[in-house]
Amino acid sequence: MAKALALAQKGDGRTSPNPMVGCVIVKNGQIISEGYHEHVGGYHAERNALLHCAEDPAGADLYVTLEPCCHTGRTPPCTDIIIEKNIARVFVGALDVNPKVAGKGVKQLRDAGIEVITGILEDQCRKCNEVFEYYMTTHLPFVDAKYAMTLDGKIATVSGDSQWVSGEASRQAVHRLRRHYKGIMCGIGTVLSDDPMLNCRIANSIDPVRIVCDTHLRLPIDAALVQTASDIPMWVIAGPEADPDKKSVLEDCGVQVITCGLDKNGQIDLKQALRILADREIDGILLEGGSTLMGAAFKAHLVNKVHAFIAPKVIGGSGAPSPVGGTGVEKMSQAVQLRKMTLTSYDRDFCITGCPQYV
């Protein structure tokens, strides 16, 4: 199953909104085939493996990280070919939370006389598809908040200079994160101050959809995001009162303008925005700030994961911005705490990763 899990992760960034799945087929103690879900619309892992066996797979064991599907979607059901090829036993990492499957695949295999063993490396298999599982069960995108700060908790100097807080190794790690998510989001303040590209600079990777929250459509026409909109998808989420003429100009540049309601503070209603994005099959988002948007996301309990890069620098300044803005909490007991934490070093920087636990 560990081999199947490693195979599954080869599909990272290419299978959305489908899960990443890996499969290994073993006969007489030898691996006779392996496969993974390579890209959305392509064959699933089981079918890829079964169609490329070194010998007849009849009587073999099949290891797969996720329960085989039993419905027709973009591709045929995997249970059909498993039964057709006379597989003896199927070892499943995790059951599929998709209501079209959700135990039905296992039942179909067992009804056909195939022995099915579930829960093999289940935690690791679920973690591999945490984005898919959250999207499938909530119909909201999984939100990963990423920021880089100095040792004293600043994301820029008092003058606004922020290039670069973190080192080259950390920035390369961020590009790997961008490859993992279907969308990447920031606020208009970040665009106005940094003019970012928000693309993925890893060879042969698919760029995420760039998404900017911009209530009043202040996005400059000469911004890098707008100038590259015909090559890399660029969406703007604007309020209902945004200037229609500016909307038309942006659309002429290839930008998709999405209208969304506002919250009580007159800002984009983030939960409504996420629902709209989910309807467009954005299953996961890397949230890259700035501090106002980050604060709103934490306040609304919409952040599912945090990647906090910390550089060994001190810049000071009471007016220098911090990663998470907004009104904050009044008491330390109300603080958002992280669970399932890991600490990773990137040259001189460290990255704390964890899942927020809201009070």
With tokens 């550089």, the residue in question is 311
59, containing H or E segment: none
- Residue 200 one-letter amino acid: C
Fold of 141-357: Dihydrofolate Reductase, subunit A (3.40.430)
Fold equal for 2-131 and 141-357: no
For β-strands 89-94 and 61-66, DSSP reports them as parallel
The set of residues, in sequence order, having a beta carbon less than 8 Å from that of 264 and lying 6+ positions away, is none
User: Is 148 annotated as ligand-binding?
Assistant: yes
In this predicted structure, what is the pLDDT of residue 166?
A: 96
Tens digits of per-residue pLDDT, 292-312? 999 999 999 999 999 999 999
Q: In the chain, what are the domain boundaries?
A: 2-131, 141-357
CA atoms of 20 and 38, how far apart (whole Å): 8
User: Is 198 annotated as ligand-binding?
Assistant: yes
How distant, in Å, are the alpha carbons of 22, 158, 182 from that of 12? 11, 38, 10
**Active-site residue, 122 included:** no
Fold of 2-131: Cytidine Deaminase; domain 2 (3.40.140)
- Residue 305: name the closest of 327, 348, 350, 336 by CA: 336
With tokens 């202040």, the residue in question is 218
In this predicted structure, what is the pLDDT of residue 114?
A: 97
With tokens 């000469």, the residue in question is 222
In this predicted structure, what is the pLDDT of residue 71?
A: 81
In this predicted structure, what is the pLDDT of residue 135?
A: 97
Tens digits of per-residue pLDDT, 201-249? 888 889 999 999 999 999 999 999 999 999 999 999 999 999 999 999 9
In this predicted structure, what is the pLDDT of residue 238?
A: 98
Go through the chain and tell me how many residues it has: 359
The set of residues, in sequence order, having a beta carbon less than 8 Å from that of 132 and lying 6+ positions away, is 16, 17, 18, 19, 20, 97, 283
| Burial grade of 327 (CB within 10 A; 0-12, 13-18, 19 or more) | exposed
**Residues of the chain under the 50 pLDDT cut:** none
With tokens 């006779």, the residue in question is 32
Q: Which of 46, 130, 251, 330 is catalytic?
A: 46
User: Is 215 annotated as ligand-binding?
Assistant: yes
Q: What are phi and psi of 306, to 5 degrees?
A: -130, 135
User: Is 33 annotated as ligand-binding?
Assistant: no
| Burial grade of 200 (CB within 10 A; 0-12, 13-18, 19 or more) | buried
In this predicted structure, what is the pLDDT of residue 204?
A: 82
User: Is 44 annotated as ligand-binding?
Assistant: yes
In this predicted structure, what is the pLDDT of residue 350?
A: 97
First and final CA of the chain: distance in angstroms?
36
In this predicted structure, what is the pLDDT of residue 351?
A: 98
Q: What are the helix (H) ranges across the chain?
A: 2-8, 45-50, 78-84, 104-111, 122-128, 130-138, 168-180, 188-194, 224-227, 244-252, 270-279, 291-299
User: Is 78 annotated as ligand-binding?
Assistant: yes
- pTM here is 0.92
In this predicted structure, what is the pLDDT of residue 202?
A: 87
